[in-house]
Amino acid sequence: MKYAVVTIDWLAQHGLLAIPTMKKSKDGSKAILHEQYLTPYKDEEFPIYYFDSPELNALLASEEWSWSEEEAPEGSAEFIQVAAAQNLLNATKAGIQTMSLTDNEALQVKSMYPYWNEFIGKSLTTGIKVQYNDGLYRVRQNIATVLENQPPSIDTAALYEEINETSGGTIDDPIPYNNNMALEEGKYYSQDGVTYKCTRSTGQAVYSPLKDLVGIYVEVA
């Protein structure tokens, strides 16, 4: 296990709480943070120590960090439990964009992703996932400035791709088509109660109803 020394200001900036069980410097300006919270911030630089290293032991025994029993801070068991859960939740949210989740897995934890409107006036990069109107969307291309009048929809399909539960693509388990999807030759898709077989891959997302693509990319199964 590894630990990092971070400032209390750093914790606040990253949405983490300085809970009583965290080892803190006596002046309250620094804390020891467990490695489970470090993954989303691996590109940042701060002192790292292995749990059994002489350096960490020396640090904790120093005047800056060594508390007497009378000086040790207290906190209720309930607060410690809730604050620890909040820290883990915030750290997970901060790092979820870098996790290799499948689309189905991402949909199961959709609430962990940020909302699209949080980025209005800001930028988005390719691959970022955002929530909008109960849906989860993947950004198709870098967006220099997110405009309020261009939310994820069919009209902005060049910018956002809706993530849907993946089906097998067989005739018994066709993929639900949502008017914003690339079609793959040999797979089956369904829309409005009709199943279609893709006869030619589109190579990119198409937006027309499947019934309008018969003879071009699909045939009725």
pLDDT in tens, 103-159: 889 999 999 999 999 999 999 999 999 999 989 999 999 999 999 999 998 889 889
Cβ 157 vs Cβ 136: under 8 Å: no
CB under 8 Å to 199, separation ≥6 — which residues?
185, 217, 218, 219
The continuous run of DSSP H or E covering 57 comes out as helix 54-61
Cβ 122 vs Cβ 145: under 8 Å: yes
Neighbours of 189 (CB within 10 A): 24
Local confidence band at 77 (pLDDT 50, 70, 90 cut-offs)? low
100 pLDDT more than 90: no
Could you tell me whether strands 160-162 and 135-139 are parallel, antiparallel, or unpaired per DSSP bridges? Answer: antiparallel
Cβ 22 vs Cβ 2: under 8 Å: no
Which residue in this structure is represented by tokens 């943070």?
33
The mean pLDDT of 206-210, rounded to a whole number, is 92
Distance CA 15, CA 87 (A): 7
Report angle CA 189, 192, 196 to the nearest 5 degrees: 30
Comparing 29-33, 34-38, 149-153, 154-158, the range with the smallest average pLDDT is 34-38
204 pLDDT more than 70: yes
Cβ 25 vs Cβ 65: under 8 Å: yes
69 pLDDT more than 80: no
What's the pLDDT at 68? 65
80 pLDDT more than 70: no
Comparing 21-25, 92-96, 192-196, the range with the smallest average pLDDT is 21-25
10 pLDDT more than 90: no
Q: What is the pLDDT of residues 153-203, one digit of tens each?
A: 888 988 998 887 777 889 999 998 988 888 999 999 999 999 999 999 998
